[in-house]
Amino acid sequence: MDTFARHAQDQYMDVVVLLTALSGKLKSANSTYTDYDDGARQKLDAVLVGGQYVAPRQR
């Protein structure tokens, strides 16, 4: 029983370490996507604010 408990504790600690590493990667990815989305939003806003509709016959 003691051997099983030590093995289970080792497995638990391994999962904790893996989840901690995954958490760091997800936070980093979130920051990257947030920055990208902000850039895309700014470009779209610039088109919407500064753009002007021109009818096809007037082009």
Token pair recorded at residue 1 = 């029983």
Confidence bin at 6 (pLDDT 50/70/90): very high
pLDDT tens digits, residue range 10-33?
A: 999 999 999 999 999 998 888 888
- CA 16 – CA 21 distance, rounded (Å): 9
User: What is the total residue count of the chain?
Assistant: 59
What values do phi and psi take at 54, rounded to 5?
A: -125, 120
pTM over 0.75: no
Q: Note the pLDDT of residue 11.
A: 97
Quick one: what percent of the chain has pLDDT higher than 70? Answer: 100
The answer to whether residue 52 scores a pLDDT higher than 90 is: no
